[in-house]
Amino acid sequence: MIEDPAASPSGDVDAGSTSLSPSEEILARRRQFMMRMGMGGAAAASVVAAPAVHAQKPKAIRWRLQTYSGAPLGAHVIRPQIEAFNKAANGEMVIELYYADQLVPTSELFRALQNGTVDAVQSDDATIASPVDIAVFGGYFPFATRYSLDLPVLFNQYGLNEIWTEAYSTIKNVEWISAGAWDPLHIFTREPIRKLADMKGKRVFGVPTAGKFLSRYGLIPVTVPWDNVEVALQTGELDGVAWCGFTEAYEVGWAGICKYALSNSITGAWCGSYFVNSKSWAKVPPHLQQLFRTTIDQSHYYRQVWYWGGEAELRVRGEKMQLTALPANEWTQVVKDAEKFWEDVGKTSARVKKVIDIIKRYNQVMEKAGYPYR
C-alpha cells in the first residue's frame, strides 16, 4: 500500500503542518474517511492482491472486473469494495480489479462482458455502449437529479430497480445488479465559460448523454482513453472536461490544468451501475452473491459521503479553479431546453418514457415538499 504523504503514521492529518494547501488538506481528510471505514487505501497496482488460498480448500472462483475509472479515482469508487469482498470471501472467491482500458477499451466493455472476457463491470450504461433503451439514463441525464440521494430513492422507491432489471432481462448473458450515485456534473475548462456562447468550439471529455445535450450550445464531446485526459488537456487537444464534479477533478489532477469551473450543475448525481456476466454469476454460490451485493451497498454509501463532502469544501476552499456562472436568463433557458430534450428522448421507447414520467413525478413531489428537499 502506498502511504499517504499528507497523513501521519496514525492516519491523521498533521494539524501543525503548513505544507498542505486547502485542497490537499480536504483530499487528505477524504482518504482518512476511507481508512476509518475499514475500506483500504489508495494504491497504484492495477490488480487487487488476492488473499492466500490454502491447499486444502476448494479451488477459488476467480473473476475479472473492469471499471470505467482510472487508478487514482478507482482508489475510491471501486478498489475498497473489491478489497473488502476478497477479504470477506476468505479464499472462496477472488476478484481481480482492472482500471479503465486495461483489458479492453471502455467503449467495448459491454461486449467483453457478454462474451466473458470480463466477469463484471462497474460503469454507467451509456459509456460502455449498452444496447438497452434505458442506457440513455446512465451517466448524467440532464436535470434528472439535484442531489445524490435522489438517485437511490428513484431506484429503490420509485420503481427504477424493476425497470432496469426488466430491460437487461432482454439482453443475452448480462445481468444488471445495482445502481448508485456518484458526483454532480460540472464543466471544467482552461478558458472561462461565463455565457453560453463561450461553450462554442470547446472540446471536452465527457459522458455520452450529457455531451449530446451540451452539444446544442457548441460544446464538442471528445472521446479519449481516461488515462490520456490529463495529457490531452496539457497539450490542448482538450479544452476541458464535462465528466465529473469538484472532488474528482481535484483527486485526479484535472483541477491543476483546468483554471475555471462552471458552477452551474447540469445534473446532481452520476448514475453508475454494476453488471455481471450471467454464466459467471450462476457459478457463484448464494452466500457469495449476497456478499458481493452487500459490499456494493457499502461502496454506494462510502462514495456518496466522499463525494458530497468533497464537493462542498472544494467549491469553497479549493484554490485551483476560479468559479464562473451563467447569467440567470441563460441558465433558465438551459433548464427549459432540458425539458424539450426529455420529450425527444421519451419518444424513443415506451420504457424510456416511463422512466421520464417517474423522474417528473418524483421531482414534482420534491418541489411540493420544499425545504430541505428542493
Q: Tens digit of pLDDT for each residue in 111-154?
A: 999 999 999 999 999 999 999 999 999 999 999 999 999 999 99
Q: Is the pLDDT of residue 373 over 60?
A: yes
6 falls within a domain: no
The full DSSP string for 82-148 is: HHHHHHHHTTSEEEEEE-TTSSS-GGGHHHHHHHTSSSEEEE-TTTTT--SGGGGGSB--TTS-SST
Q: How confident is the model at residue 104 (pLDDT cuts 50, 70, 90)?
A: very high
For residue 1, tell me if it sits in a domain: no
**pLDDT tens profile 47-94:** 555 555 555 667 999 999 999 999 999 999 999 999 999 999 999 999
96 CB-near residues (< 8 Å, 6+ apart): 47, 48, 50, 62, 63, 64, 65
Instruction: Tell me, yes or no, whether 129 lies in a domain.
Output: yes
pLDDT > 90: what percent of the chain? 84
Cis peptide before 131 (omega within 30 of 0): no
Nearest to 39 by CA among 86, 81, 90: 81
For residues 21 and 324, the model is more confident at 324
Q: What is the mean pLDDT of residues 274-280?
A: 98
- 222-237 per-position pLDDT tens digit: 999 999 999 999 999 9
Q: The C-alpha cell of 168 is what?
A: 437487461
Instruction: Classify residue 100: in a domain, yes or no.
Output: yes
Strands 240-244 and 93-98, how do they pair? unpaired
206 plus 249 within the same structural domain: yes
User: Do 230 and 145 lie in a common domain?
Assistant: no
b/e code 257-268 from CB counts within 10 Å (16+ = b): bbebbbebbbbb
What is the average per-residue pLDDT within 310-331?
A: 96
Average pLDDT over residues 306-319: 93
The answer as to whether 77 is a domain residue is yes
Q: Which residue has the cell 451563467?
A: 326
pLDDT at 125: 97
Q: Do 111 and 170 lie in a common domain? A: yes
Task: Tell me what pLDDT residue 29 has.
Answer: 67
pLDDT of amino acid 19: 75
Together in a domain, 347 and 284:
no
CATH number at residue 133: 3.40.190.170
What integer is the mean pLDDT of 156-178? 98
Residue 171 and residue 277 in one domain: yes
Report whether 271 contacts 218 (CB < 8 A): no
- Same-domain pairing of 294 and 350: no
pLDDT bin (cut points 50, 70, 90) of residue 180 is: very high
pLDDT at 365: 97
Asked if residue 225 belongs to a domain, the reply is yes
Q: What is the pLDDT of residues 235-251, one digit of tens each?
A: 999 999 999 999 999 99
**9-56 confidence digits (pLDDT tens):** 334 444 444 577 777 776 676 566 555 555 544 333 445 555 555 556
Q: What's the CA gap between 76 and 156, in Å, rounded?
A: 24
Distance CA 309, CA 311 (A): 6
DSSP letter string, 219-282: -EEE---GGGHHHHHHHTS-SEEEEE-HHHHHHTTGGGT--EEEEEEEES--EEEEEEEHHHHH
User: Half-sphere exposure of 175 toward its Cβ, with a 13 Å CA cutoff?
Assistant: 11
Is residue 6's pLDDT more than 60?
no
Non-local (6+) Cβ contacts of 245 within 8 A are: 183, 184, 185, 186, 265, 307, 311
pLDDT bucket at 179, cuts 50 / 70 / 90: very high
- Does pLDDT of 200 surpass 50? yes
Its pTM stands at 0.86
> What pLDDT was estimated at residue 2?
32
Residues 306, 26: Cα–Cα separation, whole Å = 11
Report the mean per-residue pLDDT for the chain: 90
In DSSP terms, which residues pair with 61 in a beta bridge? 93
pLDDT for res 34: 53
Domain count of the chain?
A: 2
Q: Which band of pLDDT confidence, cut at 50, 70 and 90, is reported for residue 367?
A: very high
Where in the sequence is the domain holding 134, given as residue range(s)? 22-183+271-316
Residue with cell 413531489: 365
From the list 336, 337, 210, the residue with the least C-alpha distance to 262 is 210
State whether 50 and 68 are in the same domain: yes
Note whether 82 and 175 are same-domain residues.
Answer: yes
Please tell me whether residues 331 and 230 are part of one structural domain: yes
What does the DSSP 8-state code read for residue 326?
-
Please say if the pLDDT value at position 279 is more than 70.
yes
CB neighbour list of residue 319: distance below 8 Å, 6 or more residues apart: 21, 22, 23
Q: Reply yes or no on whether the pLDDT at 366 is more than 60.
A: yes
